Structure 1
Amino acid sequence: MRKTAAKLLAAAAIATSVATIAAGTAAADPTVTPAAQDIVGVGSDTTQAVLNQFSTDYNAFLTGKGDTTSPRLYSWDSTGTSPLTTKTGATSIARPNGSGAGINALNANTSTTVDFARSSRGPKTGDPASDLFVAYAKDAVSWASTTTGSHAPTNLTTADLTGIYNCTITNWNQITDIPGYTGPNAAIKAFLPQTSSGTRSFFLSALGLSTPGSCVQATTVQENQGTDTILNDADALVPYSAAHYIGQVFKGHSSGSDAAGALSIRSIDGLSPVDGTNNLDVTFSDSAFGRVVYNVVRSADWNAGDAHAAALRAIFGTTGWICKNTTAANDIRSYGFRTLPVGACGSTTHA
């Protein structure tokens, strides 16, 4: 559905006030040290909140049916104390911040330390073919700017964003294709998330870019954190996960620095990433800016035919808990994502 940016901003303002009394995110880092046999993940900022909720609910599901022996599910946030000992007997590692860092940690260690990597991007050239990307939900990436005094319009075209991030457009007065908008003579401050971010990688790829232009701000930001004061600037813009924004602003999953803060998410090519009922817009998430999100496992682990493989498939597979359990589907929607069709959820792909 299409909706005006004015309605989006008004709804966001109301939802932000409601979110202060709504439930926050599920517990962040595990409150216990996971056991050696448990299934433990690291990586993406975009999907850490929903994986935290999966952990809470999957472990309760096992307990509820009297299962005290099956491996539990745990997920470590992308930021926090580092180095990190992920489970009993694990090698201590630097905390992975972002999809790329999570995938690197998966490949640099064994299941005694990391069982899966959260990834908000799909496989790309350079990824080992031994990494299996297991799909489970749909997201989309748009851009955000401050709600107060922003020089940015409420909508930018793909061509505008490409020009901004390849530095052929460096001033707001160069944006001439948005009806009713006359940009001021002010330099654009384009930001990107940290270099290991899957959101960064996906957004640049959606714009047809492999690397940003030299005018893009050298200072990177933690993705999906509008609380960063550097972004509270009339000339700043930054890519933002639509699902994460919806979870933060409309679903009550906002906590500490993991909040939209002063930012509002904006439209691309006249399409809002948020629909009229404050969910992920279907048309936008099926556009070039829509993406599937994944949990990445080792192919050898997935296909081993042993108890570890069975535990991975019981959680992530096409007939596993995430893809088949109603609570998991509700978690996906509650954190702003769209569920995938039967057969697509749990499907695997690799580079």
Structure 2
Amino acid sequence: MSKRMLGAAAAAVAAVALVASPAQADPVGTPTYRDIVVVGSDTTQTVMNGLSDAVLVGGVKVMGSYDARGSDNITTKAAGCTIPRPGSSGAGVTALVTSVEAGNNCVQVARSSSDNRANYAGKNLTYIPFAVDAMTYAVRSDSTVSKKLTTAQLKSIFNCTAPGVGTNFKPLLPQFGSGSRDFFLKQLGLPNTAAFTTTYPCVVDTDVNGQPIQEHVGTYLTDTKHILPYSIAVYASQIYGAAPAAQGKAVLATFNGVSPTILNTASTFKRDVYNVVPTPKLTDPTYDQVFTGADSVICTKTDVITQYGFGISPNCGNTQLVTPAS
């Protein structure tokens, strides 16, 4: 199958306006319980919800995608599968590993917005890219923080060395386990640890109530000096109604001189996003048809992918990214 490169998706953000309403937060309709249960990343939940409605095998929906936020628990199968709702990329992959090791068949696939394979050595997983996102940072529309920072400037803010950090700059991070947090800090050359905010005390990853900050929620920007990592695709989906509005007064910055309004190959913090599948499942005909190769059902649904603000990945369906053996 011929592939459209990311440059062909330059109008992806504008295409979001074509989506009349967001896909359901959790699966609805028939079948009630799907063969392939998908959990994890906030970043890709809406596009995977859309793909779950669009991907049919034998005329039947086979994927059920569950949001990272909502009720405390989700029920993914008719019996024995009421589990805590995984609220991030890391939580999603962990839930997948737990399901495989327990043999309970409650979770089949995890959404991940970062390549965090190193955290799951020996778990025999394959990270399959299916779309492209880019990250920038968000501030309030009335912010006193510059909307034109560079990587070096952003790093100095998040490692607490920038002049006036904590006063003129108040950096926020999503919770530990977030794939976007992992990707963002790695791009800045900073370690993504659970104790990050202890090492760098000017950074906050909880809200005023002490609850973990979720990915891509602009309403956390309550101070004109706040600065928060943000997905361009998710922001576009929020603005145009393909995802629940959560941007508040957030606006995206022009990062390293690149406009955030159009996703293109010039984006500095560009990334593939993934569906994580147990490697042995790739020999199953249904999984092969849905996930693997450029001719897979997901990879051919380019209209759905771009409607949610994501770019077309030249790596879509590639199955070479596997977890280390040990």
TM-score range, shorter chain: 0.7 to 0.9
Is the contact between residue 37 and residue 65 of structure 2 (CA under 8 Å) also seen in structure 1?
A: yes
Flag the 1:186–1:161 CA change in 2: closer, same or farther, 3 A.
same
One-letter identity of the residue aligned with 1:134: I
More contact order relative to length (CA 8 Å, sep ≥ 6): 2
Pair 122,139 (structure 1): closer, same or farther in 2 beyond 3 Å: same
Q: Where does residue 187 of structure 1 map in the other structure?
A: 168
Structure number with greater Rg is: 1
For the aligned residues, what is the CA RMSD?
A: 2.4
| Matching of residue 137 in structure 1 with residue 135 in structure 2 | no
Deviation, structure 1 residue 194: 1.5
Q: Does 1:312 align with 2:292?
A: no
CA shift for structure 1 position 32: 4.9
Q: Deviations over 1:169-219 (max 9, x none)?
A: 2526xxxxxxxxxxxx94321111121110000000000001441210141
So what's the TM-score if we normalise by structure 1?
A: 0.77
Map of 1:1-351 to 2, 5 A cutoff? 23-32=20-29, 38-59=35-56, 62=57, 67=58, 72-110=62-100, 112-129=105-122, 130-147=124-141, 149-169=142-162, 171=164, 186-211=167-192, 212=196, 213-219=200-206, 220-226=212-218, 228=219, 230-249=220-239, 251-255=240-244, 258-275=245-262, 280-284=263-267, 287=268, 289-303=269-283, 309-318=284-293, 319-324=295-300, 328-341=301-314, 344-348=315-319, 349-351=321-323
Q: Assess, with a 3 A threshold, how the Cα gap between structure 1 residues 317 and 218 changes in structure 2: closer, same or farther.
A: closer
Question: Percent identity, aligned pairs only?
Answer: 37
Q: Are 1:36 and 1:89, in contact at CA under 8 Å, matched by a contact in 2?
A: no
Determine helix, strand or coil for the equivalent of 1:141.
Answer: strand
Residue 100 and residue 330 in structure 1: after superposition, are their counterparts in 2 closer, same or farther (change >3 A)?
A: same
1:320 maps to amino acid: S
Unpaired segments ≥5 residues, structure 1: 1-11, 173-184, 304-308
Matches of 1:82 and 1:190, distance apart in 2 = 28
Counterpart amino acid of 1:293? V
- Tell me if structure 2 keeps the 8 A contact 1:34–1:74: no
CA contact (8 A) 2:33 2:64 kept: no
State the Cα deviation string for residues 280-336 of structure 1 (Å, max 9, x = none).
13211xx3x110000001012223xxxxx2111221111221112xxx201111111
> Which TM-score applies when normalising by structure 2?
0.83
Instruction: Point out 4+ residue stretches in structure 1 off by more than 4 angstroms.
Output: 32-37
Contact 2:33–2:76 under 8 Å retained in 1: no
Q: 1:218 to 1:71 in 2, by over 3 A?
A: closer
Count of residue correspondences = 293
After superposition, the Cα gap between the structure-2 partners of 1:71 and 1:159, relative to the gap in structure 1 and judged at 3 Å, is same
- Output one character per residue of 1:251-277: Cα deviation in whole Å (capped at 9) or x when no partner: 43142xx432210110222112323xx
Give the Cα separation in 2 of the matches to 1:312 and 1:282.
30
Partner amino acid, structure 1, of 2:297: W
Aligned-partner SS, 1:296:
strand
Do the aligned partners of residues 54 and 71 (structure 1) sit closer, same or farther apart at CA in structure 2, a change above 3 Å counting? closer
Q: 1:39 Cα deviation (Å)?
A: 0.9
Write the letter of the residue equivalent to 1:322: I
Residue pair 1:131, 1:299 contacting (<8 A) in 2 also? yes
